[in-house]
Structure 1
Amino acid sequence: MSYSLQIAVDATNPHAQADWWAETLGWQVEPSNEEFIRSMVKQGHASESDTLIHRGTLVWKDGQAINPPEEVRDGSRILFQTAPESKTVKNRVHWDVRLGGDNKDDLRSALEARGARFLWEGHQGPHSWYTMADPEGNEFCIS
């Protein structure tokens, strides 16, 4: 049996992180079901304080997922969820964004312009990569 995978990432602002990572990966922010959210509030299963308006859409306040494009979607997703504390130490797990031939210097510049920080350059044999931090400080590599 094969399983799909959801990676959950703690975030100060899950919607901003989801937007940033969806753009970075060429993925899509998972659409909100406003009718469902309103029905949960109306039925008393949630309150208005559990929601917010993000980019003109009613969403759940404490989480936002992103998905790969339709043509490669397998049920896997990344969920950004609110955490009470901010990031304080190095991640034990990080993402390697494999560029498939795109220029990593160009991508580094574009990511820095969107709020990422360059941390260091690594090498192993003929391979090299840049370790970066996203706008909330989570480490990732581009290679």
Structure 2
Amino acid sequence: MTSRIAAIALDAVDPGPVADFWCAVLGWQRVDEDEEGISIAAAPGSWPTIDVLVVPEQKAVKNRLHLDVRADGTSAADELARLEALGARRADVGQGPDVTWVVLADPEGNELCLLSRTVQDVEREAAGG
């Protein structure tokens, strides 16, 4: 027996903009909402969810857990432009100049990384091409 990830929790002072940002990034939708926060998922009843939970304080230090995303159906450069247009901003967490990914922050500063290889690059490599 093993465990499965049910939800990934993100803290936010104002969960609405953070949930909307992640819905736009992933093509997901709001599936539940109450005074404690907003849950988003690919579809109602699917999981894992991302639960954007209300907290009283602003983010103060680097996250110890973050999400890595890959461009899907577009180039990494085009996806970077799209993420920045959605409100992501570049973040410096000490990654140095030679990394192959871009560190970004969502509207409340939660880090995410845009990986340089696209979904299609990874699938092609896995297929031996």
> What TM-score bracket applies, with the shorter chain setting the length?
0.7 to 0.9
Aligned in 2, Cα 1:4/1:139: closer, same or farther, shift over 3 Å? closer
Matched, 1:99 2:100: no
Q: Counterparts in 2 of 1:64-143, with a 5 A limit?
A: 64-69=38-43, 74-100=46-72, 102-119=74-91, 123=99, 128-143=100-115
- CA drift of 1:104 comes to 1.5
The corresponding residue for 2:7 is 6
Let me know the Cα RMSD of the aligned residues: 2.1
8 Å contact kept, 1:11–1:83: yes
TM-score (norm 2): 0.74
The 1-side partners of 2:63 and 2:74 are apart by: 26
Over alpha carbons, which structure has the higher Rg? 1
Encode CA deviations 1:23-67: one digit per residue, 9 max, x unaligned: 10111111x5xxxxxxxxxxxxxxxxxxxxxxxxxx523300110
Q: Counterparts in 2 of 1:30-49, with a 5 A limit?
A: 30=31, 32=32
- CA drift of 1:117 comes to 0.6
8 Å contact kept, 1:129–1:142: yes
TM-score (norm 1): 0.67
8 Å contact kept, 1:122–1:130: no
- CA drift of 1:92 comes to 0.4
Q: List runs of 5+ in structure 2 lacking aligned partners.
A: 116-129
How high is the sequence identity, in percent, across the aligned residues? 40
Q: List runs of 5+ in structure 1 lacking aligned partners.
A: 33-58
The corresponding residue for 1:17 is 18
The 1-side partners of 2:5 and 2:112 are apart by: 22
Q: Which has the higher strand share?
A: 1
Matched, 1:60 2:39: no
The 2-side partners of 1:112 and 1:75 are apart by: 26
The corresponding residue for 1:26 is 27
